[in-house]
Amino acid sequence: MSTGTPDVSVTVIVYNDAARLPRAVESVRRQTHRDIEIIISDDHSTDATPEVARELAARDPRIVYLRLDENSGGCSAPRNRALEIARAPYLMFVDSDDELPERAVEVLLAAHRERDLDFAMGAVRRVRVDNGRRSTWMPHLVAERRTLDGVEADPRLFFEHLATSKMYARAFLDRHGLRFPEGIHYEDQLFSAQAYCLAKTFTIVPEPVYSWYVEPYADARTASISNQRHRLDNVRDRVHVQRLIDAFLAESGHEALREDKDFKFLKHDFRMYAGDLPHRDEAWLSSFADIMVPYLDTLSPDACARLPRAERVVVQLVRDRRLSEVRQAARGLGHGVAPRATTPDPSDGRTYWGESVPDSETARRELDLTDLEMDTRPFFSALLRHEITAVERGPGAAVDLSVRTYDPALRLPVGPQRATLLVSPGRHRLAVPFRLSPVRPGVFEGRVRLDLATARLPLHGFEGVRHPVLRLRHQGQAHTGILLGPLSFPPLTARVPYRAGVTPHQVTVEPEGHAPGRLQLRWHPTGLTATVLTPAAHHLATPRLKRALKLAHAILR
């Protein structure tokens, strides 16, 4: 190991992650700025991590292996122990399941050397492990290079609470005694809130400085803390850290930022739980309300007023402990889905969510849907609700669906409605017409047979998931809405040969299992053509090779 002082110390924290640790460390080793110290801080792993870490350290004198005497159960202790031995004037942190883009250190260090900063931060590139999709985390906050003299210049930065997207000046952390809080989860949120408030000057660069690998549907036993939202302890931890942030804002003279911080909690933290509420049982929802409502009651009313109306409705229904209705309201979040019913109040001319006029003044304010103009908005944006009430296996690869449509604003004319079920595996759309008949004002029902064997697939097959939608037409306008399925039903699977030349597929009809709970269709190619030719199809670029592929398909069939 070099005896000189490195420019930057990069800490890679790890716990029982021997398989991914080399990838994370290699991303630090290949940085374009080479004068760095790499500290592997092991939270007392019980797998092969120590052997892997020591082998990595033996290969590169810049690597230091630090092992904690006992497991801390979180990210804070391994980061803090590394801080105690780090030799550089600038510090960065990486989790063992993530990576640094190769210019991350160079870019952030350059920002520090341009002017005296407390920290520099950049863009975070999110990578979905399940499908490889890449996106930028909070892109509007890192779209351009800028230097801020305090977080008051842009309180939206509370949304970017990752400690790993930043390079900190060691002098800044030491001056304020700023360390990661130990013994709690969501430590990044408190640490970042403190750093934002205490920093006099920091720079934001638009270049990616962190690659965050996200596994949204990981097994509950191995999921990250943020993906363990089914645990009530997770809810308690998140609320607890919010209260710590609130106390810090008050004690440090930053109470003026409370509304912005409260808005961040509602829009980000609460919203994450809200999307899962349709899939929780009554007992869980009751305990969730016990934990959440006392904290919701402390939040700024102005913060709640900044939310979209659909999110305000869910918050209020939780506060009023209308738990069965919470599930219904949460299924529409982000998809423009109507409630099953609304209630006009003749005394004030307002329209409210649900089947009755709310009792309290607060509930009337939060459940007031009048501003949505449900009865006059253009039909293509009308608020309707389509639910599948029954899923039954039909002949062959067909499935019979019972559909109920709710039209609380009475936008559809009286009488039967022509509807179309749409799904698009590959480039060709399958359209199945059927009829919705009126049951009572604002409610229509119908049955439709979806024969998956009639879908037109590419010759090389289709691997993927699709969610059918329902289309209605009225007065020359088309309205397309999502189709909510039963939250649980036994998956239905069939093997479909399809037409000559197309590889056979296994097709499964199943509940989505998360978010709003749409009906989900899953295609999976099978047979020789799937294992040999389908993967090759994605790499063929010339028409001649594509024609050869089609011929090979026909021969193999």
- Which of the given ranges, 19-28, 180-189, 491-500, has the highest pLDDT on average? 19-28
- 349-378 residue pLDDT tens: 999 999 999 999 999 999 999 999 999 999
CB 185 within 8 A of CB 74: yes
For the cut 80, the answer to whether the pLDDT of residue 255 exceeds it is: yes
Instruction: Give the integer Cα–Cα distance in Å for 334 and 445.
Output: 24
Residue 230: which pLDDT band, with cuts at 50, 70 and 90? Answer: confident
Q: What confidence tens digit (pLDDT) does each residue in 395-436 have?
A: 999 999 999 999 999 999 999 999 999 999 988 899 999 999
CATH architecture of 8-214: Alpha-Beta Complex (3.90)
Render 424-464 in DSSP notation, one character per residue.
Answer: -STTSPEEEEEEEEEEETTEEEEEEEEEGGG----TT---E
Lowest mean pLDDT among 139-148, 153-162, 163-172, 545-554: 545-554
501: pLDDT strictly greater than 70: no
pLDDT over 70 (residue 554): no
What pLDDT does 428 receive?
A: 87
Which pTM value belongs to this model?
Answer: 0.89
Asked whether the predicted pLDDT for residue 556 surpasses 60, the reply is no
Residues 6 or more apart whose CB falls under 8 angstroms from that of 38 comprise 9, 10, 12, 25, 28, 29, 60, 62, 63, 64
Token match 């199809």: residue? 537
Give the Å distances, CA to CA, from 149 to 20, 142, 164, 525.
38, 16, 21, 56
Q: If you average pLDDT over every residue of the chain, what do you get?
A: 92
pLDDT value at 223 more than 50: no
pLDDT at 540: 47
Q: Cβ atoms within 10 A of the Cβ of 178, count?
A: 16
From CA 400, how far away is CA 378, in angstroms rounded?
31
d(CA 276, CA 460): 36
Which residue has tokens 């590139």? 125
Domain boundaries, the chain: 8-214, 229-372, 382-552
Q: What is the pLDDT of residue 150?
A: 96
Residue 382 has pLDDT above 90, yes or no: yes
Partners of 203 in the β-ladder: 120, 147
Residue 533 has pLDDT above 80, yes or no: no
Residue-level pLDDT at 130: 86
- Average pLDDT on 464-478 reads 95
Question: 307: Cβ–Cβ under 8 A, 6 or more apart, which residues?
Answer: 263, 266, 267, 315
What is the amino acid identity at position 393?
R
**Distance in angstroms (rounded) separating the CA atoms of residues 171 and 169:** 5
pLDDT, tens digit, for every residue of 82-96?
A: 999 999 999 999 999
Q: Identify the pLDDT of residue 226.
A: 53
Counting other chains too, the contacts that 142-146 makes at CB distance below 8 Å and 24 or more residues apart are: 142/204, 142/205, 142/206, 143/206, 144/204, 144/206, 145/203, 145/204, 145/205, 145/206, 146/203, 146/204
